[in-house]
Amino acid sequence: MAFFGGNERINVIAEITAKTGCEDAVRAVLVSLVEPSRKEKGCRQYHLHEDKKKPGSFWTYEEWDSEAALDEHLVGAKQMLAQVETLLDGALKLTVLEHLV
């Protein structure tokens, strides 16, 4: 369902948790993804956050023009995250939200 004159704009929240002792390594990879992601076609916003009370708990807040733009981004992002997969406490949790208003 598209609003805004056919615009498929979507928002994404990704949750990534590092294993204890691996926070710095995971943080470094996630930080390295920010600028290239912001330059990708279809990226409107890309922000990385870390829980102040629980270091190693990361979230990205992203806004993309379409699911196709997100899918293209995820190809490269998943390759980068694969480098630290063994340092993660569980799998990446990705929530895709449809922009309503």
Higher-confidence residue: 6 or 65?
A: 65
Any idea where the domains of the chain sit in the sequence? 10-98
Q: Name the DSSP class of 64.
A: E
Residue 7's pLDDT band, with cuts at 50, 70 and 90, is: low
Higher-confidence residue: 46 or 81?
A: 46
- Enter the pTM of the model: 0.85
Render pLDDT for 32-60 as a digit per residue (tens, 0 to 9).
999 999 999 999 999 999 999 999 999 99
Is the domain defined by 10-98 classed in CATH 3.30.70.100?
yes
Do 49 and 60 contact (CB within 8 A), yes or no?
Answer: yes
Do 16 and 94 contact (CB within 8 A), yes or no?
Answer: no
Residue 5's pLDDT band, with cuts at 50, 70 and 90, is: very low
